[in-house]
Structure formats: structure tokens, C-alpha cells
Amino acid sequence: MASITNVSCNKMFGGLQKVFSHDSKELGCKMKFAIFLPPQSEQDKVPVIYWLSGLECTEANCVQKSGIQKYAAEHGVIIVCPDTSPRGLNLPGEKDSWDFGEGAGFYVDATEKPWNKNYKMYSYVTRELIDVINKNFPVIEGKQSIMGHSMGGHGALICALKNPGLYKSVSAFAPICNPSECPWGKKAFEGYLGAFENGTWSQWDATELVKTYDGQPIELFLDQGAADNFMHQLLPEHLIKACKDANIPAILKMREGYDHSYYYIATFIGEHVAYHAQHLTN
């Protein structure tokens, strides 16, 4: 079993909300992840849903603010929430801004120095973390889905699109849908991946990835608050058009009056857990 350390444990909705730490080989630092174990997991192996959080977040945001545990307990699924970047590396510029560096890993594998040695959140999420969870918890291997919010919604989408069949379903709250075309994405991609002219940005952009997707059928479930002040960063219309042109099924639910916050997420998180549970149990 991969070596993990129990940081905290709280009883909740008949299950256990825990936080663990472990030494990550991919990221070269100690990482934390939160995990909710529903009551059903005490008797049987169950499916797992991975949640990727947004800018400035940690492993704590979703489990403390979304109310996801209630629905996870009802459907009998494990919820795993990793941190959003490596921590404590003290790289130059790592803490200079809130939208790049620590707390803002963007779920890519960086190629530019000094980030390329440690900022490998994509490999961490899609390989190392899955291995840690499979080896330490009662999950049904291969029965996993992924979802996220904002930067984490971008992460969920690219993890699913770059790994056909790895996840049974994918959904995203207010995702950064076309990072190559928005200020947040341009800043992160240039820092982690180099200049746009290098031609690598499209490999980490959901809107670009659907244009060439040829894996097994997948449906993208997008959820967006219509009153979101960051719509110019998110660009859901770009991804929906790309999906239509590529004949990839996509759902876009616009929520009138809702913003970018966890108040919005908490309102609709149950619908997303139910959506994933249906795919995971089929």
C-alpha cells in the first residue's frame, strides 16, 4: 500500500470525512487530499468521484462548502478532493500572484523552468492519485468519474478528453473552457508551457481537444451561473460550439441569477453526483 498519513477524521452523514497527506513522487512534495467515505464503503467496494478545485483553493474547499457528502452518502460513492498545486517548494515567483504558481497549478504538466520539475498536476491527478486511492481505499477500480469548478472544471474536462475511457463521466461547474483565449489561461499557459507559438497550448485546452477527439463516446456536462462575473474568462460558448461542430454530446445548464461561488455549487452539486452515480452504476 502507498504510504499515507491520516490528518483528520470527522463523522458525517453516516460516513467519514477524512484528510490524508502523502509524499508525491510526481510533484516532489508532501500533498494533501480530502476523501469522503460513505457508509456503504464499510461493507463493499464502491465507485469514486474526483473533484478538482479552482484558483486559490486547497483540498478543503469542496468538502467544507459544497455539501457534497450528503449526496455521496445517498448514492454510495467516494469523493476525493486533491489540492490544486504543489506546496512549499519556494520556487521563485511561486507566491507572487493568486492566479499563477502555488494554488494555481492549472492541471497541466509544465514544460518551462523552474515549473517543469514539480508542477505536474495532470500526471498527479490522472495517475499517481488514482493509484494511491485504489491501493488504500475500498474503491471499484475503473469505476471513477471526474468533475470540478473553474480552473478545476478545466482540469476535469482535459483529464477526461486526454484519457478516453479513464472516467465514466465528466462534469464541470463554471469551467475555464478555452484557456488559450482568456487572460487566466494565457498567463498560466505561457508560464507553464511557454509561448503560444510553441504549439503546445491546444493539448491542454478543452475547446481545442474536442476538435480532434477520436476516443470512445463521451458527454460533457457543463453547469454555468448566468450571473457569473467571470464569464469573459470561462467562454462556455466556445466549447459548446466546438462540441456541436465535432458531434460530441454536450449539456450546458445555465442557472439564472447564480454566480461563481460555492453558494451556486452547493445548490446544484446533488444533481451532478446523481449524474455521475448513474454512469458509475450502469
- Which sequence positions are flagged as catalytic? 150, 228, 260
List, in order, residues 6 or more apart from 90 with CB less than 8 Å away. Answer: none
Amino acid at 242: A
And the C-alpha cell for 193? Answer: 508551457
CA dihedral 142, 58, 202, 206 (to 10 degrees): 60
CA–CA–CA angle 104, 107, 113 (5° rounding): 75
CA–CA gap between residue 130 and residue 115 (Å, rounded): 23
List, in order, residues 6 or more apart from 50 with CB less than 8 Å away. Answer: 80, 81, 82, 125, 129, 130, 144, 145, 146, 147, 156, 167
DSSP, res 251: E
The CA–CA distances, whole Å, from 153 to 32, 160, 178, 244 equal 20, 11, 11, 19
